[in-house]
Structure 1
């Protein structure tokens, strides 16, 4: 049986992977798929792909495109979640900051440089017509737990993370959410290391077939809202709202979208060059 390592964030978006693993669907196809949680998000997964610690990743679109352009030897093989990611913009619950305008020039907590929380801070700044050189400052905090410490202790001023993942922290009056910033493209894609893909393409296609069969019918799974609420410490009404906003995908990311991401990152001056579509995406036949 072939062992294949895949990484992703331990969030509700990836429950379909847990369900298919629990059901033994990969082992039935002679694949020992090993899931690794990456609490540090996209920046941490990019490093793991580069080092060969994982073979595949379920990863933020903008983060992996930037890293592939900058030398990550991987390709995107499919969109995983078609809908945008809704980033909540959070401050400490007792913070004096009450609106997005109050955060201009303040310190953003980011998991890593090149991470989603880093790139989206630029997009948020652009959306609000801030000066990208003067109005953005960063404090690296590694993960969500680090963000809680940084905001609580005053080591950073605001933190951008997926709205529903951080909702329990808002409910518990640790964070306060002052605004939202959705991604202008599909939020999650599946990426595979080139070296692994070249010699294991059929196995990758098998894995995609299995996960796609589950995501197509994900919302129809009986009591899926209650399962998510219990597993991820979410309120049922929040899960139901999230399910209504989230659309999974079984499609290849198209050239227009890849170019849109690259253009945005180039305009924000956080990417210095670009690559052709076929250098970023592998279309599996």
Structure 2
């Protein structure tokens, strides 16, 4: 039996993995697949791919493209969620900041450099025509670190996925100033090059299983109620999230898409140069 380690954020996007693991679908294919939560997000997963402690990652598109460009020995094998990710822009409940323009010179909490919270703060700054070179970042590790940083004043605002942080807004821990959607598809599946070289057929089996699940995921009985209970959300919020979220089952990521995302990231000064799309993707569906 082959051992493979897969990881992603502990959020509702990845519940299809929980279902397939619970049903022992990988074991039936002689694959010992082990899931690891990464509360620190994409930057944390990129580091784990680099050091070999993670084989397969469900990561934010912008984060893995930036890290592969910087030498991460991994490839994107497919898009996982093709709809944009909605990033909420949050301040502490009693903060003096009331509107977007108030945040122009504020300190930004980010999980780590190269993470989605870091790169999307840059996207938002460009959207507002702010001087990106003057952005101030405070590295806080994860969502709890963001809560603490805003509470103790070491940072002023924090960007995290809208629905994951919705309960914190409802409780009055955060106040949401605005939303900022990604200008690209949000989650992709990345695999270490060594695993692709040595265990390609097993990777194909893993993807076939998860792709079969995401095709039927939204139609599962009481799925909104199940997700609401597991992730401590309101059912109405989960129903709204399900309406706007689209998974991508079994379709390869194209060179054109990688080129367009690189062009956008270069225009935002997130990437310095455009590279051949083949450096980022492995099309295993040929």
Q: Same fold (TM over 0.5)?
A: yes
SS in 1 for 2:132: coil
1:202 aligns with 2:191: no
1:211 corresponding residue in structure 2: 210
Per-residue CA distance 1:47-82 (angstroms, 9 max, x = gap): 000000011100000000010010000000000001
SS in 2 for 1:214: helix
Pairwise CA distance, 1:268: 2.2
2:123 corresponding residue in structure 1: 123
1:282 corresponding residue in structure 2: 282
Per-residue CA distance 1:231-264 (angstroms, 9 max, x = gap): 0000010000000000000221222221122122
The TM-score with structure 2 as length reference comes to 0.98
- For residues 180 and 254 of structure 1, what CA distance do their matches in structure 2 show? 28
Note if contact 2:253-2:283 (Cα within 8 Å) is conserved in structure 1.
no
SS in 1 for 2:137: strand
- CA-based RMSD of the aligned residues comes to 0.8
Equivalent residue runs for 1:244-259 within 5 Å: 244-250=243-249, 251-259=251-259
Pairwise CA distance, 1:29: 0.5
Aligned length: 284
1:43 corresponding residue in structure 2: 43
1:81 aligns with 2:81: yes
- For residues 267 and 211 of structure 2, what CA distance do their matches in structure 1 show? 34
1:7 corresponding residue in structure 2: 7
1:193 corresponding residue in structure 2: 192
Unaligned segments of structure 2, at least 5 residues:
none
- For residues 55 and 260 of structure 1, what CA distance do their matches in structure 2 show? 27
1:151 corresponding residue in structure 2: 150
The TM-score with structure 1 as length reference comes to 0.98
Unaligned segments of structure 1, at least 5 residues:
none
Equivalent residue runs for 1:34-73 within 5 Å: 34-73=34-73
Per-residue CA distance 1:209-232 (angstroms, 9 max, x = gap): 000000011100000000000000
1:167 corresponding residue in structure 2: 166
- For residues 270 and 241 of structure 2, what CA distance do their matches in structure 1 show? 30
- For residues 130 and 204 of structure 1, what CA distance do their matches in structure 2 show? 43
SS in 2 for 1:181: strand
- For residues 260 and 159 of structure 1, what CA distance do their matches in structure 2 show? 27
- For residues 270 and 239 of structure 1, what CA distance do their matches in structure 2 show? 32
- For residues 37 and 273 of structure 2, what CA distance do their matches in structure 1 show? 31
